[in-house]
Amino acid sequence: MRSIRRQLLFWLLAIVLLGVGIAGWLIYRQALAEANELFDYQLQEIAAALPAEPFSQILSSRDTGDEGIVLQIWNRNGMLMYYSHPRAPLAPRAELGFSTERTDRGDWRVYGAIVGDNVVQLAQPLSVRNRLAANVALRTLWPLIVLLPLLGVAVWGVVGRGLAPLRRVTGALDTRHPEALDPLPDARLPLEVRPLVRALNGLLERLAVALDTQKAFVADAAHELRTPLAAVQIQAQLVARAHDDAARSEALADLQAGVTRATRLAEQLLALARAEPDGREAANEIDLDTLLHDCVAAYAPLAQRRGVDLGIEASEPAFVRGDTEALRVLFNNLIDNATKYTPGGGRVDVCLRVADSRPVVTIADSGPGIPPEERDRVFDRFYRVGSGANRARTDVAGSGLGLAIVRRIALQHDATVTLGDARAGGLLVTVTF
């Protein structure tokens, strides 16, 4: 696993080491240049200080061994008069001025001069100067090198401190109850960590809303399922207690209706759960005209039995992107409502138009309609008009989920659903894509 701390430590130390290396090299070069100047001057001085005659005194008066300086003296005839280090690997040649001589034992700095009647040559190995420059560089840099481990420890500690807020956030999340979705405190957080915590808080907030919705849904669903199931239980008891065939068949019919209601409720709950906003299905190109004809054809027998004239008033080609089955559920619920709440002898007109290049589906009926003050609430789950005071008005079985499903599916398809008054007096539902 990649650790920010380890990476920072590694790279910072590597950069510092590189810096120390470069500084060392520069100091070394500088010191070498100065050492060259100094030693060259020294060679010149020694040569100038040599007595012209007699050269035999040189032996005793000059101690040339200290800086590794090799002294050679020839007379005018080219005869070697003196050689301080006969074993030095220097070629016997006398070049005046400064020169550098390569030998198999390293490079030598050579200075030749005429002193009196003699030619004097002083030579010094360059390694002496290199060593001196290296020593200078090392002496300058060793405190830094000694401090390097200390720097490492400091970096480790400082980075650890810098990452402490992250550990705090992790700790706070770790010890959380799974349902505790309140936001994490983002005060006293460093600039770099705050966006992460803000994003997390945003997610927590959305999760809290989703969780609340789910909880309410499950609670409502359980509550609503209890009613038809209790009815079924009572109806089953009535069947068992029936004394004669007539009573039994009547009770059986009631039981059947009860089971149908409970089944419908279960189906609607399932449709609503499927229409969860995050359950977006693969988007297909849907032919609305064909889909509406399908839905109307499927409801035609039921409408006929209910004595309602269901038909498509007008239709033109229109296409939307979305989930065919979800849209089928949407239209089925609207057509179901229209045929269900319209009394026998009434009519339901389905119409598909395209306005401003938007497909618009309207479903108009001649039923009782929905009073304007109720038009918002009917989209709530389990809400049914007249379930309170004027129950008699729509004494039709239903779970109160249809329009909630419709709204959710419409939302998924970026469509709006509005309720209005139909010309025939009933409800006008308009779905605009």
Which run of H or of E encompasses 98?
strand 97-103
- Cβ 402 to Mg ion, closest distance in Å? 3
- The Cα 117–Cα 113 span in angstroms is 11
378 binds ligand ATP (CB under 6 A): yes
28 binds ligand ATP (CB under 6 A): no
394 binds ligand ATP (CB under 6 A): yes
399 binds Mg ion (CB under 5 A): no
367 binds ligand ATP (CB under 6 A): yes
Which run of H or of E encompasses 303?
helix 288-306
Nearer to ligand ATP, 108 or 341 (CB): 341
* Residue 336-365 contact track with Mg ion, rule CB under 5 A, x = bound: -x----------------------------
Which run of H or of E encompasses 135?
helix 126-174
Which run of H or of E encompasses 142?
helix 126-174
* Residue 166-205 contact track with ligand ATP, rule CB under 6 A, x = bound: ----------------------------------------
- Cβ 432 to ligand ATP, closest distance in Å? 18
Sheet holding 106-115, edge to edge: 80-83, 70-74, 118-125, 106-115, 97-103
- Residue 264 interacts, among Mg ion, ligand ATP, none and using kind-specific CB cut-offs from 5 to 8 Å, with ligand ATP
Beta strands 309-314 and 347-355 are: parallel
Q: Which residue in the set 384, 407, 408, 413 belongs to the binding site for ligand ATP (CB under 6 A)? A: 384
- Cβ 385 to ligand ATP, closest distance in Å? 3
Cα 285 to Cα 288, 318, 351, 357: the distances in Å are 9, 10, 20, 15
Nearer to ligand ATP, 118 or 366 (CB): 366
Nearer to ligand ATP, 322 or 400 (CB): 400
- CA-wise closest residue to 325 among 373, 286, 367: 286
The DSSP annotation for 179-244 comes to: T--PPPP-TT--TTTHHHHHHHHHHHHHHHHHHHHHHHHHHHHHHHHHHHHHHHHHHHHHHHH--S
322 binds ligand ATP (CB under 6 A): no
CB atoms within 10 A of CB 290: 13
Q: Which one-letter amino acid corresponds to residue 306? A: R
- Cβ 319 to ligand ATP, closest distance in Å? 27
366 binds Mg ion (CB under 5 A): no
- Residue 378 interacts, among ligand ATP, Mg ion, none and using kind-specific CB cut-offs from 5 to 8 Å, with ligand ATP
Q: Which residue in the set 368, 375, 416, 420 belongs to the binding site for ligand ATP (CB under 6 A)? A: 368
- Local structure of 42: helix, strand or coil: helix
- Cβ 310 to ligand ATP, closest distance in Å? 12
Helix 402-412 and helix 245-274, axial crossing angle in degrees, nearest 10: 20
- Cβ 402 to ligand ATP, closest distance in Å? 2
430 binds ligand ATP (CB under 6 A): no
Q: Which stretch binds ligand ATP (CB under 6 A): 49-57, 85-93, 336-344, 354-362?
A: 336-344
402 binds Mg ion (CB under 5 A): yes
- Cβ 421 to ligand ATP, closest distance in Å? 11
431 forms beta bridges with 361, 417
Interacting residues of 416 by C-beta distance below 8 A, sequence separation 6+: 410, 431, 432
Which residues are at the interface with ligand ATP (CB under 6 A)? 264, 268, 333, 337-338, 341, 365, 367-370, 378, 384-386, 394, 398-404, 426-427
